[in-house]
Structure 1
Amino acid sequence: MSVSLRGVGLTHANGQVALSGIDLQVSSGERLAIIGPSGAGKTSLLRLLASNLRPTSGEIELLAQQPWQLSARQRQTLRARIGLIHQAPPLPPRQRVVTAVLAGKLGQWSLGKSLLNLLHPVDMQGAQGALARLDLADKLFARCDQLSGGQLQRVGIARVLYQAPELILADEPVSAMDPVLAGHTLSVLNEEVTRRGMTLLASLHAVELAMAHFPRIIGVRDGRILFDLPPDALSSAQLDALYANEQLQTLPVSMPAAQTSLQIPRC
């Protein structure tokens, strides 16, 4: 089991309840998308799974370990087995793309090798291979501040693929890309995850992308899980309840024709 949450709640220091009563089991190698309106708790859930936030109630287990029963050093070792894909990757503007990708393994390398990598890339071929999968091989020596938002997101994905973690947590990983590129990028990510037997949880704004690329969809609203279903089992009523009072846009093409009366948002 990659992820196990039992009755997990999260209340921020200001008293705001971000998550409540979350029960979630994710087996090794599963791929699932998390959808829901803005402020639903999707990012908070991913931050809990990254052990960046400590739950205020319930039990959490990641990769067969309970992160908050570990020492700080042990928890850091656990985090090296988890890959994080950010909506806005935290890449230094003047850093070369090759260095940014190789940084994926800093948590696995010795201090000496990590310092050497800052002076001279220690695995040029590995970085180029990860970038090539995302059509960025020609950007190997570009500076991060020379890239577009979508290119930076793909560099962030390449870094995690190079890291080769057991569990990948992706927070809006394709939000800066046009629909065609976003779909292609998610296809590559899912292919790589499946081939390597990794577990993937991704929060997505675009519902149609979630339904097209993931076999399991979790709907989150007001800090609670409303449904946990395969895409073909989702009804218009469930999506309507998930996005109630949100600005509506066009229904994703993957929904059955009988349900075309509903419109859902890209929150």
Structure 2
Amino acid sequence: MSLRLSGVSYVHPNGQRALHDIDLQLEAGEQVAIIGPSGAGKTTLLRLLATSLQPTSGSLTLLEQQPVKLHGRPLRQLRSRIGLIHQSPPLPPRQRVVTAVLAGRLGQWSLARALLSLCYPLDATGAERELARLDLADKLFQRCDQLSGGQQQRVGIARTLYQQPDLLLADEPVSAMDPVLADHTLALLGEVARERGVPLIASLHAVELALRHFPRVLGLRDGRVLFDKASTQVSQQDLSALYANASLSTATPSPDSPVATVRPGRC
């Protein structure tokens, strides 16, 4: 079992409850998309799985360990095995792309090696290989602030892939990409997860992408799981209930989609 949440709830410091009694289990190699309206708790759930937050109640097991019981070096070691792709990756503006990608392994390197790599990239070939998967090999020595938003997202993905994590998390990883790039990138993430036999969990606003690229979909609303089922079993009624009272637009479904596309309004 790669991860298990049992009755997990989370309450923000201001008293607002973000998650309510979440039960979730993933085996190695499973791929799950989390969908739901803005404010549903998707990012909070991913932050719990990344160990940047701790559950207010319930139990959380990640990679056979319970983060709440870990401190210091054991907790850092666990975090080094978890890769989180951010919607807006934290890339220092003046940093070169090669250095940004190699930062994926800072948690696994010694301090001396990490500092040396900041001055002289120690594995430019490895960084270029991950960038090539995302059609960014030509940006290897470019500064991050010279990239578009979609290119910066892809650099963040390349950094996480270079990390080679045992658990792969993605928070709106393709929100700044055009449809073709978004399709290619999600297909790549799924391929890498299958190759490495690691679980992949991604939050997505684009319902059609979730249904097309993920075999399992979890619908989250108001911090509660409304459904957790195979993507082929997700119905229009499921989506209507999930996005009830949200700003919606319905488009003709693609040939690959089992139901009509429902797209929540942008925040």
TM-score by length of 2: 0.96
Q: CA deviation at 1:74?
A: 1.1
CA distance in 1 between counterparts of 2:156 and 2:198 reads 17
> Is the CA contact (8 Å cut-off) linking 2:8 and 2:56 kept in structure 1?
yes
Deviation at 1:73, TM superposition (A): 2.1
Dislocated runs of 4+, deviation >2 Å: 250-256, 262-267
Q: Distance in 1 between matches of 2:189 and 2:250?
A: 25
1:202 alignment partner AA: A
CA contact (8 A) 2:208 2:262 kept: no
The count of corresponding residues between Structure 1 and Structure 2 is 264
Indicate the residue corresponding to 2:17 in structure 1.
17
Partner of 2:235: 235
Map 1:1-267 → 2, pairs under 5 A: 1-251=1-251, 252-253=253-254, 254-256=256-258, 260=260, 263-265=262-264, 267=266
- Structure 2: unaligned runs, 5 residues or longer: none
Is 1:250–1:265's contact at 8 Å kept on the other side of the alignment?
no
SS of match in other structure, 1:249: strand
Q: Deviations over 1:173-208 (max 9, x none)?
A: 000001111011111111111111121100001000
Whole-Å separation in 2 of the counterparts to 1:263 and 1:81: 34
Change (3 A) 1:263 1:151: closer
Aligned 8 A contact 2:246 2:265 in 1? no
- Counterpart contact for 1:19–1:224, Cα < 8 Å: yes
Is contact 1:218-1:228 (8 Å) kept?
yes
Q: Secondary structure of 1:61's match?
A: strand
Backbone CA RMSD of aligned residues = 1.2
Deviation at 1:266, TM superposition (A): 5.2
TM-score (norm 1): 0.96
Partner deviation per Cα, 1:181-237 (whole Å, 9 max, x = no partner): 101111111111111112110000100000110111000000011111111101111
Letter in 2 for 1:109: W
- Identical counterparts, % of pairs: 65
By how many angstroms is 1:43 displaced? 0.3
Local SS of the residue matching 1:78: helix
